[in-house]
């Protein structure tokens, strides 16, 4: 069971959390369906006077469809012992496999229409505020374009963090 904490009391190191532990980005709900995928690029910070999370989703991800039709998304972190979930969630598509079932993840549907999994240690419930596709003409360091041999530029989503939920010790 996760409990709401104040964002300012978050103890996790953001760089370690996102870059090393990795997160699940989940969008959709109980009625319309949902999907989840591993992300290791993103950010947590402050923008427009709000606490925000950013994430970056390539056009071909099945999760992108759910990101587009949902007003909410979640980013969630899992215990080290569950790191292997990312083999499925970051290596297979929800078009081909039921990732939650495959990984033993139990969906939690919030009344507002966000989805995360009961096994999470930490979850950020976010409301989409803004999106933008990366524009190849705006990369000042052209070497970054090496990430896009297929021109599949990420769509950035900025979400207002509505709730930070953490497993209690
Ligand atoms: C460690 C790791 C980090 C990833 N980070 C991202 C990311 O930030 N953005 C993205 O579009 N894909 C990222 N991916 C790829 C997706 O997780 C992967 O393609 C996934 O299978 C997509 O699933 P879907 O088609 O069900 O949405 C990452 C994969 C791994 C293994």
User: What does the alpha-carbon distance between residue 57 and residue 75 come to, in Å, rounded to a whole number?
Assistant: 13
Instruction: Give me ligand 1 centre to Cα 69, in Å.
Output: 19
pTM recorded for the entire structure: 0.98
* 62 C-beta closer than 6 A to ligand 1: yes
Q: Give yes or no for residue 45 CB within 6 A of ligand 1.
A: no
Per-residue pLDDT for 27 more than 90?
A: yes
Q: Ligand 1 centre from 39 Cα, in Å?
A: 5
Tell whether ligand 1 has an atom less than 6 A from the beta carbon of residue 41. Answer: yes
Under 8 Å CB-to-CB from 87, ≥6 apart: which residues?
none
124-168 pLDDT tens trace: 999 999 999 999 999 999 999 999 999 999 999 999 999 999 998
Structure token pair of residue 23: 């997160």
Instruction: Give the mean pLDDT of 71-87.
Output: 98
CB 86 within 8 A of CB 38: yes
CA of 139 to the centre of ligand 1 (A): 22
Q: Whose CA is nearest to atom 10 of ligand 1?
A: 57
Residue 1's pLDDT is: 83
Q: What is the DSSP secondary-structure string of 16-84?
A: IIIIII-EEEEEEETTTEEEEEEE--EEEEEETTEEEEEEEE-TT-HHHHHHHH-SEEEEEE--GGGTT
- Expressed in angstroms and rounded, the spacing between residue 167 Cα and the centre of ligand 1 is 25
Structure tokens at 85: 């979930």
Q: Is any ligand 1 atom within 6 A of the Cβ of residue 87?
A: no
Please say whether the beta carbons of 105 and 119 come within 8 A: yes
Owner of token pair 């240690």: 121
Answer whether 86 contacts ligand 1 (Cβ < 6 A): yes
pLDDT at 169: 76
- Å from CA of 91 to ligand 1 middle: 7
CA of 90 to the centre of ligand 1 (A): 5
Cβ atoms of 126 and 75 within 8 Å: the answer is yes
């Amino acid at each position: 069971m996760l409990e709401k904490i104040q964002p300012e009391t978050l103890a996790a190191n953001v760089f370690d959390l996102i870059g090393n532990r990795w997160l699940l980005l989940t969008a959709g709900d109980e009625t319309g369906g949902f999907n989840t995928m591993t992300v290791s690029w993103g950010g947590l910070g402050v923008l427009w006077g709000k606490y925000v999370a950013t994430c970056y989703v390539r056009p071909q991800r099945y999760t992108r469809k759910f990101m587009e039709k949902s007003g909410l998304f979640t980013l969630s972190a899992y215990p080290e012992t569950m790191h292997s979930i990312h083999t499925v969630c970051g290596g297979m598509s929800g078009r081909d496999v039921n990732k939650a079932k495959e990984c033993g993840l139990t969906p939690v549907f919030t009344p507002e229409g966000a989805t995360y999994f009961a096994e999470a240690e930490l979850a950020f419930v976010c409301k989409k505020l803004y999106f933008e596709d990366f524009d190849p003409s705006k990369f000042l360091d052209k070497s970054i374009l090496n990430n896009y041999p297929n021109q599949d530029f990420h769509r950035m989503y900025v979400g207002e963090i509505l709730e930070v939920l953490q497993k209690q010790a």
